[in-house]
Amino acid sequence: MIKVEERREPSLIVKIATKIVAVLLALGISATIFISYGIDPIYAFSIMFSKSLTLYGLSEVVTKFIPLELCGVGLIVAFKSGMWNIGAEGQLLIGAIMATWVALFLDIPDFTRLPLILTLSMVGGITWALIPAFLKAKLEVNEVIVTLMMNYIASFLVNYLVYGPWKGSKEWGFPYTDKFPESAWLPAIPGTRIHWPTLLIASVVAFTVFFIMFKTTLGFEMRVCGQSRRVAEYSGMNYTKALMVSMAISGALAGLAGAGEVCGIHRRLRYASAISSGYGYSGIIVAWLSGLHPIASLLSAFFIAFLLAGGDILQVSLGLSSGVVSVFNGAILFSLLISEFFGRYRLRWK
């Protein structure tokens, strides 16, 4: 007979092992899908590796790491506080809209432009994130559906702007805004698309968020609220405040990621799916793969960035659709859930 029994507290090694097993399992699932598609999985993975490990390939991985880390670490804060924020994608897009507004339409001295862009993109993300937080805290409205709906709304807003009022005068009918003035460009490492100020912020933020979540009273309160609203309120904590703060952090970081994309890479606003290739959704995987640990998210974001870059490569060289990234994402989440089960329980033969 096989008996399932619960482990007391999974050790760090077990925790790390479950993540590695999950990734391998996900690769296995993806391989099965490749085979059913008539593609040799070893060939597919080897293309992904060989092309990502060139200098250019790596720079693309790092470029994708930036928004993934920003969204992912923000989502960790939200998830830890019990807020299922699926809305990083929308918060990122609103950040991009705000950044574009400052870049193109505000008449301000050049040296204030970038700081204002970064600030207002965060304000945009915060605003977009606080709506579902408020609705959840005050009215118990399901935040998963609201944040998702707000993603759709944000992407249509972007499309409205680039097809309508903000459409560039010199763009021959393409759905782009005019190019940003140079004062609104985030500087990139020469020869790459890596906008390093945002990269720096993303890396520092991981440690800052770790400090806030695990070393401050505020972080403790957010984590308690994430465990149980009732416990939090009985012990005199302000549930609404904790939820709003956690979503503000989450939204601010996603909004910042949006500014990074438009000012660091495109240098103009384009239609929604060109601005973000699902970074907000992949950020969920970053957060979950890290075990909701801000510092570990640096690793998981890098890994997911590698997969996204690999997905791009597969699309070009094997003619696969963009859905391949979604399949990776789904497979990783499922594998994590399954491997966590074996982290929580052990099987005993009797």
**What residues make contact with another protein under the rule CB under 8 A?**
6, 33, 37, 84, 86, 135, 139-142, 144-146, 148-150, 152-153, 156-157, 159-160, 163-164, 281, 284, 288, 319-331, 333-334, 336-338, 340-341
Name which of 6 and 107 has its Cβ closer to another protein. 6
3-class DSSP state for residue 218?
helix
Name which of 200 and 231 has its Cβ closer to another protein. 231
Give the H or E element holding residue 90: helix 88-105
Name which of 56 and 341 has its Cβ closer to another protein. 341
C-beta of 119: minimal distance to another protein in Å? 27
Q: Give the span between the Cα atoms of 257 and 244, in whole angstroms.
A: 20
Name which of 296 and 331 has its Cβ closer to another protein. 331
CB 26 within 8 A of CB 335: yes
**Greatest Cα pair distance in the chain:** 76
Name which of 2 and 55 has its Cβ closer to another protein. 2
Q: Give the span between the Cα atoms of 306 and 114, in whole angstroms.
A: 29
CB 230 within 8 A of CB 257: no
Q: Give the span between the Cα atoms of 34 and 39, in whole angstroms.
A: 5
C-beta of 149: minimal distance to another protein in Å? 4
Q: Would you state the structure tokens that stand for residue 219, as one six-digit string?
A: 């972080």
Q: Give the span between the Cα atoms of 334 and 40, in whole angstroms.
A: 23
C-beta of 116: minimal distance to another protein in Å? 27
Name which of 216 and 228 has its Cβ closer to another protein. 228
Name which of 56 and 160 has its Cβ closer to another protein. 160
C-beta of 320: minimal distance to another protein in Å? 6
Phi, psi of 3 (to 5 degrees): -120, 135
C-beta of 96: minimal distance to another protein in Å? 15
Name which of 219, 200, 217 is nearest 209 in CA terms.
Answer: 219
C-beta of 257: minimal distance to another protein in Å? 19
Which string of b and e fits 305-335 if b means at least 16 CB within 10 Å? bbbbbbbbbbeeeeebeeebbebbbebbbeb
C-beta of 30: minimal distance to another protein in Å? 10
Name which of 306, 340, 299 is nearest 72 in CA terms.
Answer: 299
